[in-house]
Amino acid sequence: MLNVIKIAARNLRRYQRRTILTSSLITLGVVAVLLFISTTGSFKNMMVGQITDSMIGHLQIHRKGYLASIDNLPLNRNLDQRQVAKVKEILSGLDAVESYSMRIKLGAMFSNFTETTNIRLNAVIPEQEVKTVPLLSERIIEGEKKDVLLQKGEILIPELIAKGMKVKVGDNVVIVANNKDGSVNGKTFVVNGVLEGISGPGGRDGVIHLDDAKELLRINGVEISEIAVRLKNKDDLPRIFSSLKDDLASFTNKEGNPVFEVHTWEKLSPFYNIAQMIDLMTFFIKIMLVAIVLVSIMNVMIMAVYERINEIGTIAAIGTLPGKIMALFVTEGFLLGVLGTAVGTVISLISIAAINAAKLTFDFGRQSNLVLAPTIGAEDVITIMLIVIGIAGAASLQPAFKAARMDPITALRHV
Amino acid sequence: MSLVTADHLEKTYRIGEISIKAIRDVNFTIEPASFVAFVGPSGSGKSTLLNMIGCLDPPTMGYLQVAGQDIANMDRKQAARFRGEHIGFVFQDFNLIPVLTVFENVEYPLLMVQNRPAQKRKKQVNNLLDAVGMGNQGDKYPSQISGGQKQRVAIARALVTNAKLVLADEPTANLDGKTANRIINLMKKMRDEFDTTFIFSTHDTKVMQSAEIIFTLEDGELLQRQNDNGGTHA
């Protein structure tokens, strides 16, 4: 085999200019794909990370029907004490669950004593919330980032309301809300911090303590709108989702309808569609790479066979078996693929390091100065390398087969 | 036992509706260690006959035995294996592989066809290169040596597998008269040294005089056989 590789490599060196041109084309394709995957993949992972780690969590459990009317933040579709206890019991039994956070979601009026506006609030137990969405505290752009997110009587307000209502950290504000029976109640809060708005549901909500919400809404027992769940490893999401769905489906009401509904972040965030688009684009870019490699290698190998017909006739006459003649040409295409891929991978990795060092920034939605930090996993690099090298070998098959099947006499007569 | 036996050999090519008889009812035998020339004008069937003896082209009719084997009905792979084991080729255009050195060109059949171990290959190749007077040129590429030297390398390549039979189609056609004579003498010397049968085709009268047995072909028919002692058979 080493001799086949040696002869193939020498033939590539023999047509140096053509080898350089073709491998450059493959290199270009590999660089384009790896840079695309690394930048879009990092962007996707960053956005997904922001969504799951600062707002939604990996999974959410609601009372059946809550999600359909989530825009109204209905208080009459909260989970009761018995239901919450059941969910807690199930979640405690799952090793893959890192933490979970109980939330009451409510709509309220926000007043700075001179002006009033509406606000959506998440009432949380700070310790649970910080564990479940650890990046939430990173979104505090004004105010002190403490170990504890907030105390009772404090509120984190979204950036838009802080700007629009000219409210600063330390100001007193009043939150007025209707409870599920229609009674109105108000409570004064101290602004503890301003939250950076991010794209997606819950990205512009304020945060208060769960006990304050219960006081505001005059809830005596336990009522919870949603339970956000964080997994130890997000790759376990499909498995845990399926397991939770099955476990919770066994709980039904008197009419026999399920009591709970469970959703992954993908169902809850519209960014999932963008993520899917990115995956689709990546797929098409890979197809383009395959086409580039296929056409260029095939073209070169067809030329190589045509130019070496007499040589093929000679080695066939000497007694070289058709399989070995085929191996010589397939190896040539394969080596061309290896050369282009190796150079392309090295250039891509250097480019990725350079982009990271340059700390390029971009804007997305209302978020600006996001740092472009492309990263690429060994798995992606190896996949692309295998695809390109595999296609290079495959593209050489037809010309190689033609060479192997060539009639020695006709080939020897060729001028 | 004869090395080559042809009995009522025929070769017909079909081009569309037209059939062309390239070889017509040819009969001959060639003994081991002979030095044989097929002569005749262009289109007389010399190359076709050599191709058939060389297992490159099967006969349309008749019996053809080479080195004790009926080669008329071999498939592609069998024919390639037979050529690799028993037959060496010397071509008019030398046909050395340009990306291989002189040494590697001679080594090629042992390496890529017969898969011989490195130690044996090296010894065999060096022996042959010395025998053809190219022992000190092994590192050169074909583009760095003359036409006569290329043909010497081609002869070494043909003999390196200890082939019983070497077929040379117009081996001197691209060489000047002096070099052509040297090549023919070299082939004779190799025949004496290795007991290999050399069969070559030529229409060069000077070259054909060097042959010990001459078969004359015309329009695909074997007209006569002439031995170097002057004996002629119709």
Domains, chain B, in order of start with CATH, read: 4-233 (3.40.50.300)
Listing DSSP states for B138-205 in one string gives: TTS-GGGS-HHHHHHHHHHHHHTT--SEEEEESTTTTS-HHHHHHHHHHHHHHHHHH--EEEEEE--H
Report how far residue A226's alpha carbon sits from residue A102's, in angstroms, rounded to the nearest whole number: 6
Based on the number of CB atoms within 10 Å of its own CB, is B16 exposed (0-12), middle (13-18) or buried (19 or more)? exposed
Residue-wise pLDDT tens digits, B156-186 = 898 888 888 999 888 887 778 777 787 888 8
A5 vs A271: which has the higher pLDDT: A5
pLDDT for A182 equals 84
pTM score above 0.95: no
Q: What are B204's two structure tokens?
A: 């060069």
Compute the nearest-CA separation of A2 from chain B (Å): 11
Decide if pLDDT at B232 tops 60.
no
Task: Read off the pLDDT of each residue in B66-87 and give the average, rounded to a whole number.
Answer: 88
DSSP H helices in A72-216: 81-92, 126-132, 159-164, 210-216
For the stretch A122-181, pLDDT in tens is 999 999 999 999 888 888 888 877 777 888 999 999 998 999 999 999 999 999 999 888
Q: Which residues of A touch B56 (CB under 8 A)?
A: 317, 408-409
Model confidence at B23: pLDDT above 60:
yes
Q: How far is it, in rounded angstroms, from Cα A111 to Cα A118? A: 9
Residue range B177-199: average pLDDT? 82
Return the domain boundaries, chain A.
2-50+273-413, 65-258
Chain B positions touching A7 (Cβ under 8 A) are 97, 99-100
ipTM of model: 0.88
The band of A346, judged by pLDDT with boundaries at 50, 70 and 90, is: very high
What pLDDT, on a 0 to 100 scale, did the predictor assign at position A105?
Answer: 92
Higher pLDDT, A125 or B41: A125
Contact B81 A321 (CB under 8 A): yes
Q: Is the Cβ pair A7, B99 closer than 8 Å?
A: yes
Assign B211 a pLDDT band (cuts: 50, 70, 90).
confident
Residue B94 CA to its chain's centroid (Å): 12
Q: For residue range A12-32, list pLDDT tens digits in order.
A: 988 889 999 999 999 999 999
Tell whether A60 lies on the interface with B, counting CB pairs under 8 A: no
Average pLDDT, chain B: 86
Q: How far is A388 from chain B (nearest CA, A)?
A: 27
Element (H, E) at B37: strand B35-39
Q: Which residues of B touch A320 (CB under 8 A)?
A: 80, 84, 112-113
Residue by residue, DSSP assigns A170-205 as T-EEEEEEE-TTS-EEEEEEEEEEEEPP-SSTTTT-
CA triplet A107, A110, A115: central angle to 5 degrees?
140
User: A357-409 pLDDT, tens per residue?
Assistant: 998 887 766 667 778 888 898 998 999 999 989 999 999 999 999 999 988 88
Q: Mind spelling out the 3-state secondary structure of A352-380?
A: HHHHHHHCCEEEECCEEEEECCCCCCHHH
Please state, in angstroms and rounded to a whole number, the distance separating the CA atoms of residues A298 and A304: 10
Which A residues, 117 through 176, put their C-beta within 8 Å of a C-beta on chain B? Answer: none
Considering only residues 57 to 86 of chain B, which have any Cβ-Cβ distance to chain A shorter than 8 Å? 57, 76-77, 80-85
The pLDDT of residue B227 is above 80: no
Over the stretch A74-121, which tens digit does the pLDDT of each residue have? 888 899 999 999 999 999 988 999 999 999 999 999 999 999 999 999
Q: Sorting pLDDT into bands at 50, 70 and 90, what band is A43?
A: confident
Q: Does residue A354 carry a pLDDT above 90?
A: yes
**For chain A, how big is the Rg over CA atoms in Å?**
31
Split at pLDDT 50, 70, 90, the class of B231 is low
The whole-angstrom separation of Cα B167 and Cα B36 is 10
**Percent of chain A with pLDDT strictly greater than 70:** 97
Chain A partners within 8 Å of B111 (Cβ) = 3
Residue A2, pLDDT score? 83
Per-residue pLDDT tens over the stretch A189-222: 999 999 887 766 666 789 999 999 999 999 988 8
Q: Is A408 in contact with B56 (Cβ distance < 8 A)?
A: yes
